[in-house]
Amino acid sequence: MFSKIKKAYQLFKTIDFEQLDKLSRKVDLPKVMESFSKLDEKQLNGLMKMLDGGKPKRELPPINGDFYELHLRLSEEDRALQLKVRDFMEREIRPLVNHYWLRDEFPFEIIPMLAKLDICGLTYNGYGCAGRSSLMEGIIAMEIARIDASVATFFGVQSGLAMGSIYLCGSDAQKQEWLPAMQQMKLIGAFGLTEPEVGSGAAGGLTVTAKRTETGWVLNGQKKWIGNAPFADVTVIWAKDLTDGEVKGFLVRKGTPGFEVEKIKGKMALRIVQNGLITLTDCVVGESDRLQNANSFKDTAKVLQLTRAGVAWMAVGCARGAYENALDYTRKRKQFGKPISSFQLIQNHLVEMLSNLTAMQTLVYRLSELQDAGMLRDEHASLAKVFCTLRTRDIVSRAREVMGGNGILLEYDVARFLADAEAIYSYEGTKEINSLIVGRSITGFSAFV
Ligand SMILES: Cc1cc2nc3c(=O)[nH]c(=O)nc-3n(C[C@H](O)[C@H](O)[C@H](O)COP(=O)(O)OP(=O)(O)OC[C@H]3O[C@@H](n4cnc5c(N)ncnc54)[C@H](O)[C@@H]3O)c2cc1C
């Protein structure tokens, strides 16, 4: 008897709501249920087959944002690492991000889990780092951002901006002291360049000062937006040397007197990332904590070039996450008795998203190839950052659109991608500034400095 009821239930499940509604107006459903209970297994199976049209169930194509199969260019070892990171992000990170995003809090429990993946400082040589390709680093940034752009940003600050400053501008002793522990994520870093009154104009306009004393340096001023700063063990502070007017870098340790961090509240994007407003008041730093090979803003720019490429990859991840979520949703969501993905206008949105996503991925692959060949120039990274973050904005907004009302609900993930894309669009150089860097390179005229 139970199996018959189950079968009858399954039978009704094959009929959609609209059909069921029509049916209930034509027939007495309780009576129908009663007659079902009288049918034997064979008769029920036959009826189910008839309703199914006797056709085998249609397999939908797999959801895959890598439409041109760029992963085929990877070695077996690199592909395995990509899939390992993807699996980790889907299994461990996806279930908890919305909870923390909503609360504007950082999930500290993910730090040891990320450390176990052994992907921090991936491209650096020595100091416990793996010395792998920039391409692989980019792919990892994409995979992390495909699930959550905040976690990708936290990781980018640690592995790129903070470790990168020490790797590119530190002495060997400084690298020995910081990089192995940062690679294992036992120590967390931050990167302080932007100020409350100086963002785009940082190259020539920093107002945080560094005054040389007999034993070291005294730092004064404020830094704004500094990711990870509220809990970082070390913050790289870029300041203008009052003696020669050049920008220098300083490793300021957590708890140093005169170093205060206030968490920036009320963000509508990247809410998991903890950004700080730093106030330096006669903050004393030893000469041994001045980055020994950072002598002007040109050295700061080297770090930014490295990480701008990473931000372009992150934008690809954010866009890919939104596209794949939206495609999945439109295949499941039915209106007018059909999946909305079967409508032409929805397919147009999906194809526009995929076209941009495919162009972005192809671009960042080539960008990383240039980087790995030692040919990366500022304008290459800037072009990729502008193009990818601009296209990402378009993709996340279409993803939201095809999801209707649910597109603005956090539980469907796309709302988070939509909001986070706004911050990625502006940080590490706005669209205007990165465009001007490219403009200067192709025209020979600088329109901004
Ligand atoms: C979530 C988040 C995280 C961040 N993390 C960090 C961090 O970890 N460390 C750090 O140092 N900084 C960080 N930043 C700061 C970020 O890099 C700056 O916000 C960015 O560089 C822009 O500076 P700004 O916000 O002061 O804008 P502004 O420089 O005030 O620019 C405002 C507008 O004016 C435009 N503009 C400025 N100059 C020109 C010009 N010459 N021509 C045309 N248009 C122009 C800009 O493009 C922009 O549209 C972060 C920012 C955000 C939002």
Alpha-carbon gap, residue 420 to 400, rounded angstroms: 13
What is the gyration radius of the CA atoms in the chain, in angstroms? 27
- Cα of 386 vs centre of ligand 1, distance in Å, is 13
Does ligand 1 lie within 6 Å of residue 432's CB atom?
A: yes
pTM (two decimals):
0.89
Q: Whose CA is nearest to atom 52 of ligand 1?
A: 427
Q: Torsions phi, psi of 248, nearest 5?
A: -125, 160
Contacts for 150 with CB less than 8 Å, ≥ 6 apart: 97, 101, 270, 271, 272, 273, 420
With a cut of 70, say whether residue 1 has pLDDT above it.
Answer: no
CA-to-CA distance for 388 and 313, rounded, in angstroms?
Answer: 8
Identify whether the C-beta of residue 219 lies closer than 8 Å to the C-beta of residue 209: yes
Ligand 1 pocket member 157 (CB < 6 A): yes
Are residues 141 and 90 in contact, defined by beta-carbon separation less than 8 angstroms?
Answer: no
Helix (H, G, I), strand (E, B) or coil at 212: strand
Phi, psi dihedrals of residue 311, rounded to the nearest 5°: -65, -35
Q: Which domains does the chain have, with CATH numbers?
A: 2-51 (no CATH), 70-188 (1.10.540.10), 190-297 (2.40.110.10), 298-443 (1.20.140.10)
Beta strands in 88-197 (DSSP E): 125-126, 129-130, 189-192
Choice among 25-34, 107-116, 398-407, 416-425 with the minimum mean pLDDT: 25-34
- The model's confidence at residue 448, banded by pLDDT at 50, 70 and 90, is confident
Residue 328 has pLDDT above 60, yes or no: yes
Q: Whose CA is nearest to atom 20 of ligand 1?
A: 427
Tell me how far the alpha carbon of residue 279 lies from the centroid of ligand 1, in angstroms: 19
Reading the block at residue 430, the tokens are 């706005």
Is the pLDDT assigned to residue 65 strictly greater than 90?
A: yes
Q: Quick check: 158 and 120 in contact, CB under 8 A? A: yes
With left for phi above 0 and alpha for psi between -120 and 50, is residue 132 left, alpha or beta?
beta
Q: What is the average pLDDT across 323-343? A: 98
Regarding the beta carbon of 430 and ligand 1, being less than 6 Å apart is answered yes
Do 379 and 423 form a contact (C-beta atoms < 8 A)? no
Three-state DSSP class for 93?
helix
Ligand 1 binding pocket includes 258 (Cβ within 6 Å):
no
**Which position has the higher pLDDT, 114 or 3?**
114
Cβ of 427 closer than 6 Å to ligand 1, yes or no, is yes
Comparing C-alpha atoms, which of 426, 383, 420, 423 is closest to residue 399? 420
The pair of three-digit structure tokens given for residue 341, joined into one six-digit string:
């993905």
In sequence order, the β-bridge partners of residue 240 are 209, 247
Ligand 1 pocket, mutate which of 106, 158, 194, 386 (most atoms under 8 A from CB): 194
d(C-alpha 314, C-alpha 287), whole Å: 35
Higher pLDDT, 217 or 32: 217
SS3 sequence of 199-221: CCCHHHHCCCEEEECCCEEEEEE
* Ligand 1 pocket: which of 195, 425, 430, 440 to mutate (most atoms within 8 A of CB): 430
pLDDT above 80: residue 176: yes
- Per DSSP bridges, beta strands 234-241 and 247-253 are antiparallel
Q: CA 48, CA 354: separation in Å to the nearest integer?
A: 38
Hey, how many other C-beta atoms are within 10 angstroms of the C-beta on 105? 12
Give the pLDDT band of residue 2 (cuts 50, 70, 90): very low
Structure tokens at 32: 């129908």
422 lines ligand 1 (CB under 6 A): no
pLDDT average, residue stretch 27-45? 67
Residue 17 above 60 pLDDT? no
Pocket probe for ligand 1: among 155, 427, 435, 438, the residue whose CB has the most ligand atoms within 8 Å is 427
pLDDT, tens digit, 9 for 90 and up, residues 340-380: 999 999 999 999 999 999 999 999 999 999 999 999 999 99
Strands 209-212 and 216-227: antiparallel
Average confidence score pLDDT of the chain: 93
Say which residue the tokens 């990165």 belong to: 434
Tell me if 166 sits within 8 A of 291, measured CB to CB: yes
Buried/exposed code over 144-171 (b: 16+ C-beta within 10 A; e: otherwise):
bbbbbbbbbbbbbbbbbbbbbbbbbbbe
Q: Find the farthest-apart pair of alpha carbons in the chain and give their distance in angstroms, rounded.
A: 98
How far apart (Å, rounded) are the C-alpha atoms in residues 367 and 372? 9
293 pLDDT above the threshold of 70? yes
Q: Which residues contact 261 (CB under 8 A, 6 or more apart)?
A: 226, 229, 230, 276, 277, 278, 279
